[in-house]
Amino acid sequence: MRTYRYPQQNEWKEIIQRPHLDLSKLHATVTGVLNDIKEHGDEAVKKYEAQFDHVTLHSLAVSAQEMDEAEHLLDDKLKAAIILAHENIHAFHAAQKFEGKPIETRQGVTCWQKSVAIEKVGLYIPGGTAPLFSTVLMLATPAKIAGCSEIVLCTPPNSEGKVNPAILYAAQVAGVNRIFKAGGVQAIGAMAYGTESVPKVYKIFGPGNQYVMAAKQQVSLDEVAIDMPAGPSEVCVIADHQANATFVAADLLSQAEHGIDSQVLLITTSEEKLQEIQEEVNRQLQALPRKEMAAKALENSNYVLVSDLDEAMKLSNAYAPEHLILQVEDYEALAEKVINAGSVFLGKYACESAGDYASGTNHTLPTHGYATAYSGVNLDSYCRKVTFQHLTEQGIREIGRAVELMAEAEQLDAHRNAMTVRIKSLKA
């Protein structure tokens, strides 16, 4: 990790820079795969599964027998943990239900909204370097609460053509309708265009690497909506003089182990704490089974020493992290200054892992600086708001002339006339 001590603001651009691939080569590869799937369907998906996931598939669909096997393969304690997490995620998202209230904007003019579930949604669950069964709960649970009628899930199988049993069990608990063995760009293409096996959906959800992010962005241009351009995982930790160095190091490494293109950022106001945390990161790294991957991610990452917490918060808002941990004494006061972040963790005990698994909040969040404009996945992500309005005769009297004048000023005579004929009808 690079270390910056009291950087000037003109150095911040360098500090908050994300790691990236050769985008020109990436987009060309993604476009080629998507076009192939659009034209050749299942055949192309199976071809890319063989190429990228090193597996020969005769069928893309997960069978009922495989679902039954998964439940028996899973440890009872893990199943109980999945159920506990699902209950908390369900409670948090169910509390977000929208209730549209009619409002009379003028006498005789009533307007309101109704929340309607997106009928067909597709969930992408990474399964390469880590089988993210927790993401199944995060994506499928609010979809089920919202009332989505078809919940489709794609996830890469292992070299034997099997999907991780925890992914299958979590899907069963959360209410997924259909599961398919497909990963990466080919999974996004299959759900966006539809194939002989995989149904076309209206919106795609789920995290992934930069190839998945690029595929989601491309299909969103003309085929399907997406949740957000989520890419490699990241965390920013703000730590003051009283922060627990062991906890901070563990939080930084918990994100670093996601993948070589992940990134972590430490911002601290204490030189002494900076040195403690650096030593702890080095010590804990050696004990990680995924230490080589984490070490690569740390090469993309930064330690930053700043003058005070106001400066720390300004730098964090400029970075717009996916996860923000405030390990500071007065975390409530600092939390008030958060503008750009996906999900915020307050105090020394609120580790990011809690939100990743079982606190109840959603862990599918905007990365790569998109927290400046996007929210994390929530119940509204699976709904549309349909607007209604009703006008009485009095309503026409209240706003009719204003509508005529505005339409006339925009030179839209047919618009004006639609109101004019109604005004005249009242005089008949």
Enzyme catalytic residues: 322-323
For residue 93, what is the enclosing H or E element?
helix 76-94
Q: How many CA atoms lie within 13 A of 10 on its CB side?
A: 0
Tell me the two tokens of residue 182.
Answer: 């497909």
Q: Which amino acid is at 329?
A: E
Question: Is position 54 annotated in a ligand binding site?
Answer: no
What is the rounded distance in angstroms from the CA atom of residue 298 to the CA atom of residue 301?
A: 5
Query: CA angle at residue 108 from 105 to 109, to 5 degrees?
Result: 40
> Does 209 count as an annotated binding residue?
yes
The answer to whether 124 is annotated as binding is yes
The helix/strand/coil state of 28 is helix
Nearest-angstrom CA–CA distance, 252 and 246: 10
Tell whether residue 323 is among the known ligand binding residues. Answer: yes
**Does 186 belong to an annotated binding site?**
yes
| Cβ 30 vs Cβ 274: under 8 Å | no
- 22 is annotated as contributing to ligand binding: no
8 assigned to a ligand binding site = no
| Residue 368 marked ligand-binding | no
Residue 375 annotated as binding site:
no
Query: Does 11 count as an annotated binding residue?
Result: no
3-state class (DSSP) for residue 266: strand
Helices (H), 183-330: 184-193, 210-219, 245-256, 271-285, 291-299, 309-319
For residue 147, give the DSSP letter: T
Binding-site residues for NAD(+) sit at: 124, 186, 209
